[in-house]
Amino acid sequence: MAVIIDGKAVSAKIREEIKAESAAFEKETGIKPGLAVIIVGDDPASQIYVRNKGKACEEVGFYSEIHRLSADTTKEQLLELVHSLNSNDKIHGILVQSPLPKHLDEALIVNNIDYNKDVDAFHPVNVGKIMIGDYNFLPCTPAGVMELLKAYDIDVCGKEVAVVGRSNIVGKPQAMLMLHSNATVTVCHSKTKNLADVLRRADVVVMAIGKAKFLKADMIKDSAVVIDVGMNRDENGKLCGDVDFEECEKKASYITPVPGGVGPMTITMLMKNTLSSAKLKVSKL
């Protein structure tokens, strides 16, 4: 049976560290790290994510602002807010909650965030920095995965890692972080042929495709490390990942559950990026 990677516990420990670091930083500089979150429209899942981000800020002692805008907000209004936050000294991190209503161009909005405050690491400058391995911020979910591996002393150096999914927010940066940690990385996607053959070679499998319980035990090798980024609803409406946990748990050496695995790490990494941004600003003064 696999060791179950406890994302809640790892996340709580890192948040304690961030809280202590933030308090020490504030004492030394008089500056409280600040995060601004913008939400446009009333998507219920987004409302919950935004609320949780606000709560996390409170927990670690950050200043936070949540800007709730109506679904008919214009591009000009949103850009005006982004630009005002770019020049607001109390704010070190700006996050625009995705998805935006269809009439708003997400890429355009992200490109207008000051990349020094882009704590999601979605701005093209930060994406490029991640590519060359010279970064200030790491994209939150992939960074959370790396922290989980670290917490359980799982070293990917020289290992075969398969990342399934190639989105800009999870799969691609995840592959890059694995590469920076000296893994041999294969990136799989919907056009990959013989996916199970590729996965059975992998020492570590990271699933990020958004398909409930897709990964079965016969698709992994004995003692593989299985990381599940997916967040889906099963046939009963229950939250589940991209991994068939019950099957894979019996064969894997380590496995993340859903919920309670990668999920809690994402917001924690957002807090870490906001603190880094505040520190970076002071170091440049």
Which listed residue (53, 117, 272, 279) is catalytic? Answer: 53
Of 109 and 162, which CB lies nearer to ligand NAP in the complex structure? 162
190 touches ligand NAP by CB under 6 A: yes
* Smallest separation (angstroms) from ligand NAP to the CB of 231: 4
Q: Coil, strand or helix: which one is 59?
A: helix
User: Tokens 């209004």 appear where?
Assistant: 77
Residue 60 sits at φ, ψ, to 5 deg, of -95, 5
Q: Are 3 and 253 in contact (CB under 8 A)?
A: yes
**How far is the first Cα of the chain from the last one, in angstroms, to the nearest whole number?**
52
142 touches ligand NAP by CB under 6 A: no
Residue among 40, 229, 243, 252 that touches ligand NAP (CB under 6 A): 229
Is 153 considered catalytic here?
no
Site for ligand NAP in 66-95 (CB under 6 A): none
193 touches ligand NAP by CB under 6 A: no
Which listed residue (6, 117, 118, 120) is catalytic? Answer: 120
210 touches ligand NAP by CB under 6 A: yes
* Smallest separation (angstroms) from ligand NAP to the CB of 180: 19
Residue among 138, 230, 251, 270 that touches ligand NAP (CB under 6 A): 230
Please give the DSSP secondary-structure letter assigned to residue 285: -
Q: Are 204 and 170 in contact (CB under 8 A)?
A: no
Residue among 46, 88, 111, 167 that touches ligand NAP (CB under 6 A): 167
Is 72 considered catalytic here?
no
Beta bridge partners of 95: 37
278 touches ligand NAP by CB under 6 A: no
Is 97 considered catalytic here?
yes
Q: Are 268 and 60 in contact (CB under 8 A)?
A: no
* DSSP annotation string for 175-201: HHHHHHTT-EEEEE-TT-TTHHHHHHT
Please give the DSSP secondary-structure letter assigned to residue 171: H
Helix 140-151 to helix 171-180 angle, to the nearest 10 degrees?
40
Pairwise CA distance, residues 235 & 239, whole Å: 10
Which listed residue (6, 97, 174, 228) is catalytic? Answer: 97
Q: Report the catalytic residues.
A: 53, 97, 120
Binding site for ligand NAP (CB under 6 A): 141, 164-167, 169-171, 188-192, 195, 208-211, 229-232, 262-263, 266
